[in-house]
Amino acid sequence: MSRQSRHVQEYGTTAIIWMAATMVVIPFLWLIGDLLWNGWTHLSWSFVFSAPQNAGREGGIGPILMSTMLIVGVCMGVAVPMGLGTALFLSEYTRHDHVLGRLIRGSLDVLAGVPSIVFGLFGNALFCQALGLGFSILSGGLTLACMVLPILIRTAEESFRAISREQRLSAAALGLSQPTTIRTILLPAAMPGLLVGGTLGLGRAFAETAALIFTSGYVDRMPESLMDSGRSLAVHIYDLAMNVAGGNPNAFATALVLVGLLLIINLFSSWIATRWTSLNQLPA
């Protein structure tokens, strides 16, 4: 290649790569801009706390926010202890190459890839029908719990495994029992990683729509118990956009609330992550 044509090639590829990067940025800014532009005008405290009226065209999202919190609460309430227990089992009670551990890990990897709509089908069949919970916040929350479990377990196991062997050995050398070691040494040391994993799962749960349509249902009234059907923010956006003519303004505002929530969760998570690494970089 002559020096001339090499320069042409170098400039050409540089231009292409900058163009590709720009093509990714533009729709992103466009989307965020649209959300802010159209959602901000409808956003107010009364929108956040009042009940929807006229199928959601008017009024706010109070009950929907409540249902969302309950669904996500049920989800995390079930998934966190289960995830923590499984992660402890995988990292503390089995060797890394143990057959049972590998089986569990493999099945969780597969579960992590299952599309959310399939979780919706499963939740509908198991929780709504077989267990007779019907369209309810409980059904929705349990379905989401199955969905976020693989993420929680994987991040939790990784943070337990990141703890050095020396820490465990010195705990054992002090004669601490396994439960005490876990409570006083391992859990605190793994806490930042556990929190990051938890916020990841939380984000997934808040963002989910497809798995909830046939499990927690569409009802937009204030839920009175976990057995009531309740509509999540994401389902509300879907319903307003697809089934309610003139629902777009409120859909924009709801989307802004949802994205704002996720942004806060995301910032919290990356704050923990950076704090963690900066703590770890301090000389011992």
Give CA–CA dist 251/39, Å, rounded: 8
H or E stretch including 33?
helix 3-40
Q: Which of 136, 186, 137 is nearest to 166 (CA)?
A: 186
Q: Is there a contact between 234 and 212 (Cβ–Cβ < 8 Å)? A: yes
Looking at beta carbons only, is 27 or 132 nearer to another protein?
27
Tell me the C-alpha to C-alpha distance, in Å, between residue 241 and each of 34, 237, 253, 254: 15, 6, 12, 11
Q: Which of 142, 144, 124 is nearest to 134 (CA)?
A: 124
Looking at beta carbons only, is 83 or 223 nearer to another protein?
83
Both tokens assigned to 267: 């910032």
Give CA–CA dist 211/71, Å, rounded: 12
Both tokens assigned to 1: 């290649």
What is the smallest separation between the CB atom of 271 and another protein, expressed in angstroms?
A: 13
What is the smallest separation between the CB atom of 224 and another protein, expressed in angstroms?
A: 23
Looking at beta carbons only, is 225 or 264 nearer to another protein?
264
What is the smallest separation between the CB atom of 129 and another protein, expressed in angstroms?
A: 9
What is the smallest separation between the CB atom of 222 and another protein, expressed in angstroms?
A: 22
Give CA–CA dist 150/73, Å, rounded: 17
What is the smallest separation between the CB atom of 36 and another protein, expressed in angstroms?
A: 12
Looking at beta carbons only, is 16 or 222 nearer to another protein?
16
What is the smallest separation between the CB atom of 52 and another protein, expressed in angstroms?
A: 17
Both tokens assigned to 170: 């010195």
Both tokens assigned to 257: 């609330």
Looking at beta carbons only, is 164 or 225 nearer to another protein?
164
Looking at beta carbons only, is 63 or 105 nearer to another protein?
105
Looking at beta carbons only, is 50 or 266 nearer to another protein?
266
DSSP 96: T
What is the smallest separation between the CB atom of 131 and another protein, expressed in angstroms?
A: 11
> Can you say whether the dihedral through the CA atoms of 214, 218, 222, 228 is positive or negative?
negative
